[in-house]
Amino acid sequence: MWVGLQSHSLPVGVKTFIKITGLTHIYNQGQPGERRALSGVDLTIKKGEYLAVVGPNGSGKSTLARHFNALLLPTSGQVLVDGLDTRNKEAIWEIRRRVGMVFQNPDNQIVSSLVEEDIAFGPENLGLPPEEIRDRVKAALEQTGLTRFRRHAPQLLSSGQKQRLAIAGVLAMHPDCLVLDEPTAMLDPAGRKELLATLDALNKTGITIVLVTHFMEEAARAGRILVLADGKSILTGTPGQVFAQAEILEELDLTLPAPAQIARGLKRRGFFMPGPIIHQEALIEAALAIAGGSVSADKGEVALITSGGRSEPASASHPGAAPTQEYVIKAANLSHTYAPGTPFEVASLKDVSLEVYRGDFLAVVGATGSGKSTLVQHFNGLLQPTAGQVTVCGLDVTGKEARRNLWRKLG
């Protein structure tokens, strides 16, 4: 089955950058362990596009990615990069300069003992003059937010920073396209967030991005998603179009992003959902319409959605809450910072305020790494606020004694 949905959002007339026709890849052909990884894949990627490639394990994502810069060559079919055929030996270096690859494990991509030397490695191999190399290194450091680490040893960087260093090394080659094969798989939420923001920014400068990912939340950021299954392209379209095919994705064990899942559940229960819901903000809007105002969100970091149908708003951001109602949980200007004062410092919650009343049903939604678990762990006293206050069943959860009492009351 192949479902070709209305194509991506780039205007017609934009130049084709990669054109793949009938691509089949067979590993170990004619030998023991022969394995067909791709079967007749057709794909066109336009200049400046942001394409996400998703699919179950073994569906051929990495194999396809390696064809984009001639690390693998077709068993049959054709891959053209900016008009250059990957089977043309003379074109290979030009293709690899135009399409840079970033892999899953950042440790395997480091070649030097100093950040700026690592970035300079590629341009040096191109034999560029020293001033040109210096300019490129400087620009790549800025584009990836690593300028202040330029004299650091790469081994001492966090995984997220190392991955941005790998991107900087590729950027210094002035590529037209970045292909990233599960670049966030080994990163913590903060590193993941920074890396994805870097990709968004690079795409805005006109660089074509191909992101292979297991995370549907990440794929949702792309302009277009390609779904692979068993070496075939089975679905392609905008994130909204692809996530609307929930049955196909479910069959492949691909989970919809959390906001899309919640929206689907609400729709099934008869609630009106306007158009495709992919991002947290759209879900909040829709929930707000359903609940008639009982929704609160801290400044876009964590969104807290209370059940619809309550006569009184449940959120502290609505000063009209009935004074007679008894609240069970109250958070006032709650902030939480992990590992404060260390290089791993992450501000997970920032100034969150909310009230949950007796009998409330509260859903906490937010993207991966937005602080959902951190928030909830304050309600049962597992975490202590860095700033602000949390009261549960009338008990301030700061302090050992209060927490012991709390654990007797809470599930």
Ligand X SMILES: Nc1ncnc2c1ncn2[C@@H]1O[C@H](COP(=O)(O)OP(=O)(O)OP(=O)(O)O)[C@@H](O)[C@H]1O
Q: How many residues bind ligand X (CB under 6 A)?
A: 12
The binding track of 318-347 with respect to ligand X, each residue x by CB under 6 A or -, is: ------------------------------
> Of 85-144, which residues contact Mg ion (CB under 5 A)?
none
Q: How many residues bind Mg ion (CB under 5 A)?
A: 2
Q: Which residues neighbour 32 within 8 Å (Cβ) at sequence distance 6 or greater?
A: none
Q: From CA 159, how far away is CA 149, in angstroms rounded?
A: 14
Closest separation in Å from C-beta 57 to ligand X: 4
> Of 25-54, which residues contact ligand X (CB under 6 A)?
27-28, 35, 37
User: What distances in angstroms separate CA 128 from CA 88, 173, 302, one per listed residue?
Assistant: 25, 10, 47
Closest separation in Å from C-beta 58 to ligand X: 4
**Nearest-CA neighbor of 394 among 372, 383, 410, 411?**
410
Contact status: 57 vs ligand X (CB under 6 A): yes
Q: Which residues neighbour 208 within 8 Å (Cβ) at sequence distance 6 or greater?
A: 17, 18, 45, 46, 47, 48, 49, 50, 51, 176, 177, 178
User: Among the candidate windows 57-65, 289-297, 338-346, 386-394, which touches Mg ion by CB under 5 A?
Assistant: 57-65
One of 18, 46, 60, 196 touching ligand X (CB under 6 A): 60
Q: Which is nearer to Mg ion, 166 or 383 (CB)?
A: 166
User: Among the candidate windows 61-69, 244-252, 328-336, 365-373, which touches ligand X by CB under 6 A?
Assistant: 61-69
What would the two tokens of residue 315 be?
A: 């959120």
Contact status: 62 vs Mg ion (CB under 5 A): yes
- 59's contact among ligand X, Mg ion, none, with CB below 5 to 8 A by partner kind, is ligand X
Closest separation in Å from C-beta 63 to ligand X: 3
Q: From CA 231, how far away is CA 377, in angstroms rounded?
A: 42
The binding track of 7-46 with respect to Mg ion, each residue x by CB under 5 A or -, is: ----------------------------------------
Q: Which is nearer to ligand X, 59 or 241 (CB)?
A: 59
User: What distances in angstroms separate CA 107 from CA 80, 124, 154, 384, one per listed residue?
Assistant: 30, 21, 9, 34
Contact status: 373 vs Mg ion (CB under 5 A): no
User: b/e per residue, 8-38, with b = 16+ CB within 10 A?
Assistant: beeeeeeeebbbbeebebbeeeeeeeeeebb
User: What distances in angstroms separate CA 47 from CA 93, 105, 122, 235, one per listed residue?
Assistant: 19, 27, 23, 21
Closest separation in Å from C-beta 104 to Mg ion: 8
Q: From CA 329, how far away is CA 292, in angstroms rounded?
A: 22
State the residues that interact with ligand X by CB under 6 A: 27-28, 35, 37, 55, 57-63
Binding site for Mg ion (CB under 5 A): 61-62
